[in-house]
Amino acid sequence: MEAEKNNITELKAKAETFDDIFKKLSAVDLSQHKAKKMDLDYLTWAQAWQFVLENYPSATYQFEDFDGVPYLQYPDGSAEVRVKVVIEGHERHMWLPCMDFKNNAINQPNSRQTNDSKMRCFVKCLAMFGLGLDVYGAKESIDLEPESIGDVDDALPGPEKDVPLLINQTERDILSNLITKADIPESRIFNLAKIEKLDELKKSDYQSLLKKLEVTIESANS
């Protein structure tokens, strides 16, 4: 019995924290594994999942089911898919509208459109653990398959627009998480970035703020 308790204690000690997982997966070099489609970079969901399983073979994922329907349907007919990924006991959730290649919401999506959206959502959820964030930060798109264009809004500045491109939901969640870890008042961060809320942060300022927060956290832990 005592030996069993010691084994459990040892296993708990070896369990990786979310920070450990994030650092490991965000450090994965995707430069040799990206392909291009219409000037957008993409990473197949299979390749992304392979990277995860090579480091965490017990990782799992699960798509949410809505009374036998693979998506949540809104009153206007548009739909949203949701997924959960679990790595070393750490859960992250992601959601994504079913969209066409122009990122317009689709009403009554067919099986192909639903499947594409589910796997795009899956890759975005993996980004919550750090995998592929450098691609998002570089204003490029982690897509799923060559025939699917992917998240154009996340990838490129709007064509000939004066309105600046803002950070997406994944990037907002990452910054919120780091601000909490850095134990810095949000108001201070907002003043530094000259914004009133994270939704207003420009993509061009994302990497700079991300690095400042990481340096702050590293300094506090050193």
pLDDT per position as a tens digit, 171-200 = 777 888 888 877 878 888 888 788 888 778
At 160 the pLDDT is 38
Q: What is the token pair recorded at 88? A: 């070393």
At 80 the pLDDT is 96
At 147 the pLDDT is 37
With cut-offs at 50, 70 and 90, classify the pLDDT of residue 40.
low
18 pLDDT exceeds 70? yes
At 100 the pLDDT is 82
52 pLDDT exceeds 50? yes
At 196 the pLDDT is 83
Distance CA 189, CA 205 (A): 12
pTM over 0.75: no
At 3 the pLDDT is 55
- Mean per-residue pLDDT, 14-35: 79
With cut-offs at 50, 70 and 90, classify the pLDDT of residue 222.
low
- The answer for 201, left when phi > 0, alpha when psi is -120 to 50, beta otherwise, is beta
Q: Which helix (H) or strand (E) holds 148?
A: none
At 60 the pLDDT is 95
Distance CA 123, CA 104 (A): 19
Mean pLDDT of all residues in the chain? 76
At 204 the pLDDT is 81
Q: What angle do CA 162, 163, 166 make, to 5 degrees?
A: 140
- Mean per-residue pLDDT, 1-19: 58
Tell me the angle at which helices 169-182 and 203-221 cross, rounded to the nearest 10 degrees.
30
